[in-house]
Amino acid sequence: MASNLQSMWKFSVLILVQIIIVLYMFQCGVSEFQPSEWKNAHATFYGDDSAAETMGGACGYGNLHDSGYGTDTAALSTVLFNNGLACGRCYEMKCVESPWCLPGASSITVTATNSCPPNWYQDTNNGGWCNPPREHFDLAKPAFNKIAETVAGIIPISYRRVSCQKTGGIRLKFEGNDYWLLVYVMNVGGAGDICQMWVKGTNTDWISMTQNWGASYQAFSKLGGQALSFKLESYTTGEVIYLNNVAPSNWCTWMTYQSDVNFH
What local confidence, expressed as pLDDT, does residue 1 receive?
53
Beta-carbon contacts of residue 39 (< 8 Å; ≥ 6 apart): 135, 158, 159, 160
Q: Which of 259, 254, 243 is nearest to 167 (CA)?
A: 259
What local confidence, expressed as pLDDT, does residue 214 receive?
95
User: How many Cβ atoms are within 10 Å of 163's Cβ, its own excluded?
Assistant: 18
What are the backbone dihedrals phi and psi of residue 98, each rounded to the nearest 5 degrees, phi first? -140, 140
Instruction: Give the chain's residues under pLDDT 70.
Output: 1-31
What local confidence, expressed as pLDDT, does residue 199 receive?
98
What local confidence, expressed as pLDDT, does residue 56 receive?
86
Per-residue CA distances from 161 to 20, 91, 107 (Å): 31, 4, 12
What local confidence, expressed as pLDDT, does residue 6 receive?
52
What local confidence, expressed as pLDDT, does residue 75 receive?
98
What local confidence, expressed as pLDDT, does residue 95 receive?
98
What local confidence, expressed as pLDDT, does residue 211 receive?
97
SS3 at position 113: strand
- Predicted TM-score (pTM) of the model is 0.86
What gap in Å lies between CA 173 and CA 182, rounded to an integer? 8
Assess contact for 153 and 48: CB atoms under 8 A. Answer: no
